Amino acid sequence: MSPLVSAVPLHVNGTGVSIPLKKRSSNRLDNTMAQHAHLVSKYENSFNIYRINTGKIHPLAGRRSMISSRANTSTEALTASKILWYGEITIGTPPVTFKVEFDTGSSDTWVPDSSCAACSGHSTYDPSSSSTSRDLGQDFDINYQDDTYATGQQYTDDITVAGLTATNQAFASASDVDSGLLDRASDGMMGMGWPSISQTGTPVFNTLVEQGVVSSGVFGFYLTDTDGSLFLGGTDASLYKGPLNWNPVLYQSSWYITVDDVNVGGQTVISSVDASVDSGTTLILGDAQSVAQFWSSIPGSQAAIQYGPGMYTYPCDSNPIVSVSIGSQTYTISSQHLKWLQVSDADCVGSVVATDDSIRHWVLGDAFMKNVYTAFDFDHSRVGFAQL
């Protein structure tokens, strides 16, 4: 496992601070089914929280999601766990360091509580040891459809990320955490989606904006196969060329935008789909019908559920040219990122994967995000992309 870089800012310019990210290697084949199940359940859970918070059914919620569940500037260094990119934060006074996953597909921050019997080997939060801790007297309960869960109590305390401190920040301290969530390099989660899908209220980055700690409500991701960076309070223009191509957010929950076209060999095979831009998955996922249509345009491809639900194989030597058109720009997905893994001398499993009818949109994970610089803008409700 690559070592984590310090949570203090490592690169600062006039608009923000950048944190380096590292990616943990993992067995992709073993992880595929778990990742697929958790991603689908994450969106089902967020749709349920959205309904609780707003009183409305999310426009993209599938059939299962309509059933209620229990449910200045700076940069942070991140490392990739089995599924998500993670980095260091501190909580409390005196500060305790945690490794958390930075997930644009969710909005809550939670870490293991000191009373968690199953959390050995992870940093834990002891509210009695922090002079700035306050118990909110509210439960926290996330139960995913893949049977993973984290339950506990909500507190406020000082949370620092990349040298930036959100005071009196609400978060959850989980006294009971499923082993499926603990089997990662990280300790917990920091969600970077919109408040509408948060159980604990205002997310950490939004608090930094409200308290004037960052100069703008913008953060940016730069991801590669081995490392990357998360920039808080703006973007790191040294990592991309040309202007950012901004696209309006469709729904202020996860970061949903419109994908105009998905192309193979320069020909459009899918048009006008809603998609979330999600640092919380390595895959690109879509509804079963359109994903089947995508793979049917690549000769020699076939369904391959033996490698995971919704997976397809294709001839490794075909090197199809795949691109995604968003707004006025088209972004190519490199052949190395279209390939999820090679399973034989001839066959590769693709990173474009079908979901069931529980979610009806596409998810652009880091198989897409590695090809572009991605900026998320709360101030103007938009997502921007630029060429690396």
Instruction: Out of 103, 113, 146, 187, pick the active-site residue.
Output: 103
Backbone angles phi and psi of 281, in degrees to 5: -150, 150
At 372, the amino acid letter reads V
Residue 135: active-site member: no
256-307 confidence digits (pLDDT tens): 999 999 999 999 999 999 999 999 888 999 999 999 999 999 999 999 988 8
Residue 261: active-site member: no
Rg of the chain, C-alpha, whole Å: 20
Closest CA to 359 of 128, 57, 44: 44
Spatial neighbors of 45 by CB under 8 A, at least 6 apart, are: 69, 71, 106, 142, 143, 144, 145
DSSP states of 328-343 as a string?
TEEEEE-HHHHEEEE-
Residue 272, CA distances (Å) to 25, 79, 232, 324 in order: 34, 33, 31, 11
Note the CATH number of domain 11-232.
2.40.70.10
Tokens 């879509």 found at: 286
38-91 confidence digits (pLDDT tens): 666 677 777 777 788 788 887 877 544 433 333 355 555 445 444 457 788 999
Instruction: Out of 113, 278, 287, 366, pick the active-site residue.
Output: 278
Confidence of residue 149 (pLDDT cuts 50, 70, 90): confident
CA 155 to centroid of chain Cα atoms:
23
- Looking at the chain, the domain(s) classified CATH 2.40.70.10 span 11-232, 239-387
Tell me which architecture the domain covering 239-387 has in CATH.
Beta Barrel (2.40)
CA 9 to centroid of chain Cα atoms:
21
